[in-house]
Amino acid sequence: MFLIAGSSSKREKLDFNQSVVCDNCGQYGRYNVIMEYTYLSLFFIPIFKWNKKYYVKSSCCGSIYSINKKTGDKIADGEKITLKDKDLHILKKGHSHSLKKCSDCSFETREDFQYCPKCGSKFK
């Protein structure tokens, strides 16, 4: 008899989107939930999953948060929930664009320009 079995890790994006104003960068964005797990396969068919972990990634700046397993399981089961700040534990802060103001013309922007798009002066 010939038997093919093995274990591996996988990441899966769950069907969850929540529009937010990001605490890190102040921009509008979405929270996307990702489930990471290890699984046992038999003849290339996943049989059993364990070691599930859930992460939230913001679409605006790329900040990554962890959420507890209970909340993640509810999202994976398709429940409509709203994530709150107390549910999120920061793992990695994404890039944030602070407000830049031109010293010559007082133009303000959040973009990462080296020169002012209005008057052409170099940002300091």
Residues 28 and 81 in one domain: yes
| Residue matched to tokens 């489930």 | 35
User: Contact, 65 vs 89, CB < 8 A?
Assistant: yes
Residues 66 and 121 in one domain: no
Q: Which domain holds residue 116?
A: 98-124
Give the whole-angstrom CA distance, residue 65 versus residue 11.
15
| Range in 26-40, 45-59, 87-101 the model is least confident about | 87-101
Residues 33 and 88 in one domain: yes
Give the whole-angstrom CA distance, residue 32 versus residue 91.
15
Q: What pLDDT score was predicted for residue 25? A: 80
Residues 86 and 107 in one domain: no
Residues 102 and 77 in one domain: no
Residues 84 and 37 in one domain: yes
Residues 82 and 103 in one domain: no
Residues 102 and 41 in one domain: no
Q: What pLDDT score was predicted for residue 100? A: 80
8-65-88 Cα angle (round to 5): 125
Is 37 a residue whose pLDDT tops 90?
yes
Rg of the chain on CA atoms, in Å? 21
What are the tens digits of pLDDT across the range 55-98? 999 998 899 999 999 999 999 999 999 999 999 999 998 876 66
Residues 69 and 114 in one domain: no
Q: What would the mean pLDDT of 114-119 be, rounded to a whole number?
A: 88
